[in-house]
Amino acid sequence: MKTNPWTLSVLLLLAGPLGADPDWHVEYPDSFCVVEGSTATIPCSFTLPAGRRVERVVWCTNDEFCRRLVFNVYDSSSVRAYRRFRYLGDRVGNCTLKIIKTVKRDTAMYRFLFQANGRGYPGRIGVIVKVTDGEDVKVRSSITDHVVKEGGQVTLTCTSACSFHQLDVHWYRNGHALSETGPALHLSNLTNNNTGNYTCSLDSSGQKTSAPWSLLVGEDEGRFGWRLTVSVVLKVLWAVFLLLLAGLVFAKRSAPGPEHETVYSEVVG
Ligand SMILES: *[C@@H]1O[C@H](CO)[C@@H](O)[C@H](O)[C@H]1NC(C)=O
Ligand SMILES: *[C@@H]1O[C@H](CO)[C@@H](O)[C@H](O)[C@H]1NC(C)=O
List, for residues 180-211, the tens digit of each pLDDT value: 888 899 999 999 999 999 999 876 566 678 89
45 lines ligand 1 (CB under 6 A): yes
Q: Looking at the 3D structure of the chain, how many domains does it have?
A: 3
Q: Which of 84-88, 116-120, 209-213 has the lowest mean pLDDT?
A: 116-120
Looking at residue 2, what is its pLDDT? 39
Q: Which residues line ligand 2 (CB under 6 A)?
A: 174, 196-197, 212, 214
Question: Which ligand is located closest to the Cα atom of residue 176?
Answer: 2
Q: Which residues sit opposite 111 in a β-bridge?
A: 60
Q: In the chain, which ranges are E strands? A: 25-27, 31-35, 40-42, 45-47, 54-61, 74-75, 85-87, 97-99, 108-116, 119-122, 127-132, 138-141, 147-149, 154-159, 170-173, 176-181, 184-187, 196-201, 213-218
Ligand 1 neighbour 96 (Cβ under 6 A): yes
pLDDT at position 70: 59
Q: Do residues 105 and 25 both lie within one domain?
A: yes
Q: By mean pLDDT, which of 69-83, 127-141, 222-236, 242-256 is the weakest?
A: 222-236
Specify whether 124 is located in the same domain as 20.
yes
Q: Does residue 127 sit in the same domain as residue 142?
A: no
Q: Among the atoms of ligand 2, which is closest to the Cα of residue 197?
A: 1
Say yes or no: 46 and 88 in one domain: yes
- Residues 17 and 7: their CA atoms lie apart, in Å, by 16
User: Quick one: 118 and 9 in the same domain?
Assistant: yes
197 lines ligand 1 (CB under 6 A): no
The ligand whose atoms approach the alpha carbon of 198 most closely is 2
Cα–Cα distance between 203 and 215 in angstroms, integer?
Answer: 23
pLDDT tier, 84 (very low <50, low <70, confident <90, very high otherwise)? very high
CA–CA distance, 112 with 182 (Å, rounded to integer): 31
Measure 216 CA to ligand 2 centroid, in angstroms.
Answer: 11
Measure 97 CA to ligand 1 centroid, in angstroms: 10
Residues 213, 233 within the same domain: no
Last residue of a domain, one of 103, 132, 161: 132
Report the mean per-residue pLDDT for the chain.
79
* Same domain flag for 210 and 142: yes
229-252 pLDDT, tens digit per residue, is 667 778 888 888 888 888 888 887
pTM tops 0.75, yes or no: no
- Predicted pLDDT of residue 209: 84
- Whole-number pLDDT of residue 155: 96
> Are 98 and 78 contained in the same domain?
yes
CATH for 148 = 2.60.40.10
Using pLDDT thresholds of 50, 70 and 90, give the confidence band for residue 263.
Answer: very low
Q: Which atom of ligand 2 is nearest to the CA of 196?
A: 13
Quote the pLDDT of residue 221. 52
Say whether pLDDT at 268 is over 80. no
Give the whole-angstrom CA distance, residue 43 versus residue 127: 10
Nearest residue (by CA) to ligand 1, atom 12, is: 94
> Bigger pLDDT: 85 or 201?
85
Domain hosting residue 10, numbered range:
5-132
Evaluate: CB of 88 within 6 angstroms of ligand 1: yes
The Cα angle at residue 121 between residues 5 and 51, in degrees rounded to 5? 95
